[in-house]
Every structure is written in structure tokens, then in C-alpha cells.
Amino acid sequence: MAIKKTFSPILFTLLLTSCNYTSSDYKSFNDYPVSDNDLWLSYSKEATVFRIWSPTAEMVQLKLYDEGTGGEPKAMYNLHAKKDGTWEIKLKGDLNGTFYTYQVKTADVLLKETPGIYARAVGINGERAMVVDLESTNPEGWEDDKGPGISYPDEAVLYELHMRDLSVYPESGIKHKGKYTGLAEKGTRGPGGVATGLDHLLELGITHVHLLPVFDFNFLDEARPDSAQYNWGYNPFNYNTPEGSYSTDPWNGEVRIKEFKQMVRTLHDNNIGVIMDVVYNHTALYEHSNFNLEVPGYFYRHMEDGKPSNASACGNELASERAMVRKYIIESVTYWAREYHLDGFRFDLMAILDVETMNEIAAALKAINQDIIIYGEGWSAGSSPYPAEKRAFKFNLPQMPGISAFSDEIRDGLKGSVFETMDKGFVNGEENTEESVKMGIVGCIEHPQVDYSRVNASKEAWTTHPWQAVAYVSCHDNLTLYDKLKLSCPEATEEDIIAMDRLAIAVVLTSQGMAFLHAGSELLRSKKGVENSYISPDSINQIDWSRKMKYPGTFNYYRNLVKLRKEHPAFRMRTGEEVRKNLEFHTTENGLISYQISNHANGDNWKNIHVIYNARPEVVIYELPGTWTVAVMGELFNPGTKITDQVVVPARSMLIAYQEE
């Protein structure tokens, strides 16, 4: 965002200190009144009602503007106080397109203007909110729009994507580079005529696109949309409106809403769901965040010395356990689900939020759409004053029956620690990593054949059902899979690296639980060794579509794996008991894991499925009694070869064989 004028941080600190984070009317934040009121702006052509919750305010002023930035207010009104801390005013007439801000006076200090935490539309750089007729932003047929139906979360194949990365490559063939509309373009082609963008996603076969944050975030100047700016977006500014830099007109708050909805509609029309990455654990700003400009201190946790606690490692953390913070988060998430028809949410640093809030979020979302997927990072980035047993850590997942979390066990077990470049895992030659991989294979449930004492990140199971675990090997954070393998194995040939890569993703896509792919990994995506590319230029972050032409074999391997997983429900059993009953490990040795799924598991048309992962640099002669049909061997899918009693498993590869009866 553009740098904005603010009141002094020193003055803010004095303000908080002088009233012990509260006003003289309240001894603690727990004494603040709880409002059941609708705190969203209510618009009609006849009148608009403006509301804000600020129980410590002495005065709240509404300012109306013609533009989203600059100029003087064309009108100012004092809001009226209610007993529950709500302030409101009703203005007659059609105010559609009018920009506005609130300004709060508390403890004799007039705070900076704010668009308000419930703003649904904003102007350039999110400085001012905008009155908008949301119905007018709906695409044609929006009332009939819906995403792909799923019975269980593990039917999804997730594809994590940054909005800009997909299209910004100069030869992507996509017209609206870096925009919502770019993701909705069809028929785009890149180098050598390869399909790009949406057509590529359809070719790959994924079910859901997981978009890195697309709410209005800080630290990009939307007034320079074509300049070289980049950010992952984990810097919340206005939670309830789309990011303007991804729209074709960030000055008009209505445009970003329309284009976001049209993107969703187009993806849904192509049977692809949309997952939104949400960041309710911290805000980009603290002293002059929109929360603190309404109710100083209330929305944040603090240490005993009064400083903001910092489990996010971003300078602050939200106090989700407080009544009005919880109300806000739940209403914000459900607003996105209803208004934008989103199919799921991924929670950043979910373990900063409390268990009760996450359960209420899940209940509220499922009441809107039973098919909504909810998952998150089951960890935090630092310590918090709020008790760990009450926070949404992955080890508390049994208390959150509707929520899933990422398995760092299988991630690091497959390729080595994400925090140590040279550390290796199962596919790149490290010994004694098999139990960590096995834990991921069973979806992190309790399984009698997994030795949890030898698992890397956890020493006990943390899911009740396998779909509560997200199996993955790479994401936007840390090195790409290709870069990690190259850097940790400098002696390896390109052929070796490709084989390791394919084996790693083969394990992910045949494991129980939800399967998650990092965008571009199917093209052996490289960020040139940059580990933390959150503000790196497009030259580092863009998906290089020439790699699809360069590595067609790898793309086809990924595509065939996705197809295999979707066609065979045995790889996505629904309960822990099903997995324990039907999945039995046969071999666990250094560089070799095998197991059998039996009994037409989860209604599969294959009665028995034998899976062998050979991470060794040489072939393995594997004893497999009986007669089997080969489904996958090396690069080959469905070769139909019959084998009896033993099989040759190529080096660094997966082999799958099956019996139909």
C-alpha cells in the first residue's frame, strides 16, 4: 500500500497506557459490552445505515467523499451511541458509489480516519470505504452458481496458486496478466503451443484452486498497478474486500468485486472450486490498524508488560477468544462464503486462533455449504500468552472434528527439513525417514504399524480421520521441490532430480488425506534457489511456461497421478477405522516402503492394490505372491502387464499393481 499519514505511535502507546488498554468505564477487555447487532453497512436505494462498534469512543464521526483518495469531505455527520457500544446513523437517499470513513475520538484523542473493519468495498489503497450495491456486482446467473460437490474433503486435489504467478510470464498467452480476469481466460497458449492458465488447470485435472491471500492487503501501491511490485499478501488491511492490485481498476471499489465474482463463476463453470487463504491471526499494521482505530487494544493479545504478543512473528496477534473478535472473524469468513461463493478456506498460522472459534467457524460455514473445505497450518510462528491447549494446533485437531491441517511429517520426511537446505529425506537418500513418510501415508491417524517414536515432527497421531491431514511436499513457503532436491543433492544428475521429484509427488497423491500441489511443481518449478520469495520480483515467482514444453514427461506424470487418485477411492478412505482395517504395510527398509490396500476399500473397483515406493538409486526385485496387473511402473501408466510372484521396481520410482478379484 502507499504510505499514509498516521498519528504518532508514541501518542498511541500513551493512549493505551493511560487507560490500561481500556477506558475508565471498564476494568478489562472482558468487561466491554458485547453487541449482537448487525455491524455491516446496510444499503438500499432509499437509505444507508452506517455502523461501528467502539465502546470506548467519546465521539464517532462519519465523513463522506466523492473520491477514494484526496480532497476534502463533502459532508460530515456525528453517529449516535447505543448501550452495547455500537454507533450508527441512517442517511436517506441513494449513496451508491459514495466513499466514506469513520473517525473515532477516545480518551480525548482523535484517531486517524478508518474505512471501518466491516468495509465491503474500498477505493485505491483501501484508505476509504465505498458504499456499493452488491447485487449489481453479481455476474449473470450468479444465483445458480455453485462449486464442485464433494462428499469428503479428501476428494479434493488442491492447487496452491498466487494470483500473479499464473499469468505474468511474458509468453503466458494471457492478456490480463496478474489479474482476476487473467485466471478466467480460456484458450491461452504459451511457448510451443502448450496450454496455460485455466486450460492448464483443466488439463492437469485438479479440483480446487487455493488462492494465496486475495483480500485487500498492505504494502503494495495500487495506484501503480503496472509497476514491478510483488507480495504474497499475508499482510491484512481490509479483510472483507478483494485486493485492488489484481483488478483492472483499483480506484473503483465495485470493479474488484465484479471481477473477483466473475473469476469464481468461470472456475465453477469449469468444475473447479475456489479456496481462499485467510489470515485472521495478525494484521499488517498495529498502532494504526483499522482495529485499533476503532477500539484501541481490544482486538489484540498483549504480554504482561503491555506490549503486543507476537505468535505470528509479524508484530502482533489477534485475540480470537474475545467475544467481539470471534464475532468479527466468523462473520467475515461467512461473508466471503455467501457473497463470493467460495468453496473453502485455508487458515494461515491457525494455531494462533482458539479451538472454540475454529469450531464455530466450521459450524457456520457448513450451515452455508456442506461441501466447504476448512484446513490450516496447525502451528504458530512463536509463543503466545494464550494457552496452547486452547489453541488450534494440529495436536488439538481431535477437538476440531470439521477441520484439517498440513502434515509437516510427510513434507519433511519426503525431501528433508524445509529449514535446512542440505537436509535430505526419503526420496533424496536419507536413511531412517520411512516412519515419517508412513505417518503421512495413513493420514496421520493412529496405525499399529507406524512407529511414532521415530517420526520427525510428531510422536503421536493427531487426526481421527485421514482427511484431517493435508499431504504435501512443497508450497509457496521455502524452496520449491525442484530447487530443494537440486541444492540438497549437488552431485545428482538432472535425470536423478526428476526421478526424485516424481517419486515425492507420487507418494503425496497416493497417500490418505487431502492432496495438495504447489502451482508449477508439475513443470519442475524453480525460483532460482530463492527460499523466501514473498517480495521477490516476477522473474523469480512467475510460472515459467516454457518448462511445460521442456518437461512434458513430468507434467504428464503429475496429470496421470491426479487421474489415478480421482478414479480410485481406495487412496482416500474416509475414516481412521477404514484405514486400519484395509491398509497394511509389508516392507519398511531404508529407501523402500510398500503396503497393500485390500477389500475393495472405500468402494474401489480394484479389490487389492499393492504400492511400492523405491527411493533407492538401483532397481529392486520385489516379492509379490500371486498374479497381479501393473497399473503404474516408472513413467508408464496402465501398461496392463501381468506379473506373478515377483516384480522389478525401477530405481527411484513408484510401482502400483492390482487385483480386481
* Cα 594–chain centre separation: 32
Tell me which H or E stretch contains 588: strand 583-589
Contacts within 8 Å (CB) and 24+ apart, 388-394: 388/351, 390/321, 390/354, 390/355, 390/356, 391/351, 391/352, 391/353, 391/354, 391/355, 392/347, 392/350, 392/351, 392/352, 392/353, 392/354, 392/355, 392/357, 392/358, 393/351, 394/351, 394/458, 394/462
Q: Which residues, other chains included, contact 609 with Cβ-Cβ below 8 Å and sequence gap of 6+?
A: 568, 570, 596, 597, 598, 601, 631, 656, 657, 658
Q: Which residues, other chains included, contact 275 with Cβ-Cβ below 8 Å and sequence gap of 6+?
A: 158, 208, 209, 210, 211, 342, 343, 344, 345, 346, 373
Closest to 593 in 3D by CA, of 584, 601, 602: 584
Tell me which H or E stretch contains 557: helix 552-567
> Which residue do the cell numbers 444507508 mark?
48
Angle at 480 between CA 478 and CA 481, to 5 degrees: 120
Q: What residues are labeled active site? A: 348, 377
Tell me which H or E stretch contains 335: helix 323-340
Closest to 460 in 3D by CA, of 468, 450, 452: 452
> Which residue do the cell numbers 493505551 mark?
16
Output the DSSP codes for 385-433: SS-GGGB--GGGGGG-TT-EEE-HHHHHHHH--TT-TT---TTTT-SS-
Count of all residues that appear for the chain in the document: 661
Torsion from C-alpha of 297, 244, 148, 638, nearest 10 degrees: -110
Provide the 3-class DSSP secondary structure of residue 492.
coil
The letter for the amino acid at 370 is Q
- What's the DSSP call for residue 114? B
φ, ψ dihedrals at 189, nearest 5°: -135, 145
Residues 350/321, Cβ–Cβ less than 8 Å:
no
Tell me which H or E stretch contains 627: strand 620-633
* Cα 335–chain centre separation: 17
Quote the CA–CA distance of 163 and 536 in Å, as a whole number.
15
Quote the CA–CA distance of 179 and 306 in Å, as a whole number.
41
Quote the CA–CA distance of 61 and 83 in Å, as a whole number.
18
Residues 214/276, Cβ–Cβ less than 8 Å:
yes
Q: Which residues, other chains included, contact 119 with Cβ-Cβ below 8 Å and sequence gap of 6+?
A: 41, 126, 129, 130, 238, 240, 241
Quote the CA–CA distance of 656 and 597 in Å, as a whole number.
11
Residues 403/468, Cβ–Cβ less than 8 Å:
yes
Cell numbers at 31, concatenated = 468487561
